[in-house]
Every structure is written in C-alpha cells, then in structure tokens.
Amino acid sequence: MPVENESFYNLIGDEISRESIVEKMIDYYNEKLELGETRVTDFNEGSEIRNLLESIAVDLYDLMEDNYEATKIAFISTAYGEWLDLHGENPLINTPRDTGSEAVGLVTFTIPVVRAMDIIIPEETILVCEENDLEYVTDSEAVIVPGETSVEVYCTCLTVGEDGNCSANTITMIDDDNIDSTVEVTNPEAFSEGSDYEEDDDYRERLLNAIRIDNFGSIGYYQELGNNVEGVHDVLLVDDETYTRKIIVNGDAKPVTEEVLVNVLKEFTRPENIVLGHNFIVDSPDYLVLNLQLDLIVEYEFEEDLIINRLHSFFDGGITSDGYDFSGCFIGETLNETYLYSCLESLDGIIRASASISGNQSNLSSLTVNSNEVIKLGDVLINQTLIDE
C-alpha cells in the first residue's frame, strides 16, 4: 500500500512520517541481517514484508502523533485551546482566560411631539449601528410616558469584542416594524467595555507572566531571570556556605565568557530583582569534555567540518543550516544516545551512526554527569563507511 506523505515535527525537532517509520524499521532489519539474526532482505515496493511494515507504520504514526499532542498539552508553552484553559484554572495559577465582553452604553429613544398614551419599546429590541453594522439589544423595556418625548435605556452589543465600541450618535436604526415609525434612536455617548476574546498566544504569555510574578524570589524565578540574560544557555542555583545562592552559569559558548558571568550577576543584583537577605555569587560549571569516536555508514563521504558543526549544535544548542533546532546540553544533564544518533542521521546521506568515547571505546550509556557539570564536545574522530563497500 502507498505510504501517505504526511508528517509532523515532535518537540525535539525530529520530523515523523509514515515513510520515515518504515525506513527506521527497514534499518532495524538491516542491522539484524548484518548480525545474522534475520533472513529478511526484500524491502522493495510491493514485497510482502514492505507491505506489512507500511501497514504497521499507519498505526504507529497515529500513536506517535497522539503522543505528540498529549505532550504538547501538558505544558503551558505548547498547550492550546481548552487545554490551555485548564492550565489557567489550576488553583496554583488561578488565571482564567479573558473570554471577551460586549460593548454597553445608553441609547435615547425620542418622539417629535408629546403623546397621550405610552410609547413602549420592548426589552430586546434590536438596534443597528451605522458605523460597524453590528446589532445591539435593549436590556429592558423602555416607556415614553405621556408628557415626555424621550426615554433612556441601557443597551448591549450582540457581538463580543472591541468592534462593538462604537462612536457617539452612530446607533440610529431600529430593526422592529412594530414600534411606532416616529420613534428615533441614538446613542449620545460612545459605547465602551467591549473586549476581544483572548487568543492563545496572548493568554499563554499572561499565564507565564502570572507564574513569574507568583514565584518572585523563588528558585524558579531566579532560574528564569538567569536564562533570559543574553549568552546564557541555562543556570543552576545551589546553596553555598557563605552566600544564600551560588549561580552556576552554562553559557551558549563553552567555556562561558567572563562578560556573561558579569551580566548575570548584574541582573541578579538589580534592586527590582533581589529579595532582602538574598546574596549571590556566580561561577562557571565544571566541564566534562567528551572525546568522541563516530562510526558512520554513509551514502557518500562528508566533509568532517559539517559533521562536527552539527555535533556542536547538538551539544551547545542552536539551529542548523537545514532547520533543525537543538536545545543543547543543560547543567547536570546526561547524554541521550538516541537523540545524538537522530541528530547525525537527520543529515541527508548518513544512513546509520554509532559512537563511543574515544580512546577506551567506552559505551556512552555508562557516562555519568555530576549535578554541576556540563558535557562539552572535545576531539572527534570520524570513520565513514560507504554503504556499498
């Protein structure tokens, strides 16, 4: 069966499609074939095993997409719609979405001469504004009594939003043939209080701001403060015997520059940011230098600088020339081998990647990272094997 050309990017930037899932399964079988653990070799279009893998990919894709959506709604930064509303309704945040409001104001109904009988304008009489073509409705019954030529009544726009905030003397049409034709209407003053429904982007930012304010002086508050300094990748606050907090600063560049350390300390000691009794010192992390040996199966030979630059994007964080955005290594974060291999294999032409610690062939899974350490890419030894060799 044909594999539909449909895809999505997961939260770490990998493109997932049914076709890529099939290719991953084929790669798995090819690896097993090299180890003598399978005899399956025919993956051509229309073969039985290819049809089977494509059938499996349909369900796998749906499961992965569902998991992706479930992951998105778990975080304020990526949640949307009603899921974002649930974050705001959390008692710890208690910041509901602004669903918008209708414009309100007074209108005046008038008649040219005094009448001997009541002139009744029913509740919910529809009026129309010549400025915006929106409809407005009277909030209550209005009566022009004998001896009077006018009456005021509150009126509400039927459309939620700022568009209902019309100028004075623009609500002039009565959409009700049962009302005396001599009755005229206008709004002596502008209508106000109409507000738009708060869209996801605005609501999300307001929720994040509410969290920042509520957490003033907390670990989370200071971490975010440090992360927003230019040149900072992430920070870690730890207790210190002399100071309230030591700020470990992991820079975008490794090692972190003195300028970045100074700027972080300046930000933390601004009068509006510091809490009474909190003192800070800044320091750089310890760097765990990782010398890698890469073994790549490739369709053609790569310039080594291209591969090394991609590794720096992976370890330090950054966007590659082909649009992949890597978050980089955080303080105390262990190495995720799967993500590392995906980083390399996302380069068109690299079929399979494996790596070990250069010099002793240690398995990367045995690498331990202390809480104040950051992995820093060291020397890289690259072995490339063409696929047809």
Where are the domains positioned within the chain?
A: 7-73, 102-186, 216-283, 286-386
Give the span between the Cα atoms of 331 and 82, in whole angstroms.
34
Phi then psi for residue 88, to 5 deg, are -65, -30
Which residues 6+ apart lie within 8 Å of 283 measured at CB? 246, 247, 248, 249, 261
Phi then psi for residue 202, to 5 deg, are -70, -40
- The torsion region of residue 36 among left (phi > 0), alpha (psi -120 to 50) and beta comes to left
pLDDT number for residue 3: 47
Strand pairing report for 325-326 and 184-186 = unpaired
Please write down the HEC assignment for all residues of 222-263: HHHHHHCCCCEEEEEEECCCCCCEEEEEEECCCCCCHHHHHH
Give the span between the Cα atoms of 278 and 219, in whole angstroms.
11
Check if the beta carbon of residue 307 is closer than 8 Å to that of residue 382. yes
Is the Cα torsion angle 215, 218, 223, 225 positive or negative in sign? Answer: positive
pTM across the whole model:
0.46
The CA distances from residue 237 to 241, 248, 258, in Å, are: 13, 6, 18
Over its length of 389 residues, how does the chain's per-residue pLDDT go in tens digits?
A: 444 568 877 766 778 888 888 888 888 888 888 887 878 788 888 888 888 888 888 888 888 888 888 888 888 888 999 999 999 988 667 889 999 999 999 999 999 999 999 999 999 999 999 999 999 999 999 999 999 999 999 999 999 999 999 999 999 999 998 999 899 999 999 999 999 999 999 999 888 887 766 565 667 777 888 888 999 999 998 876 666 678 999 999 899 999 999 999 998 888 766 665 677 889 999 999 999 999 999 999 999 999 999 999 999 988 887 788 888 999 999 988 888 988 898 898 999 999 988 876 567 877 889 999 999 999 999 999 998 75
pLDDT number for residue 133: 95
pLDDT number for residue 277: 62
CATH class of 216-283: alpha beta
Phi then psi for residue 306, to 5 deg, are -60, -45
pLDDT number for residue 382: 94
Question: In 3-state terms, the chain is what percent helix, strand and coil (to 5)?
Answer: 30, 30, 45
pLDDT number for residue 1: 45
Q: Which CATH architecture has domain 102-186?
A: Beta Barrel (2.40)
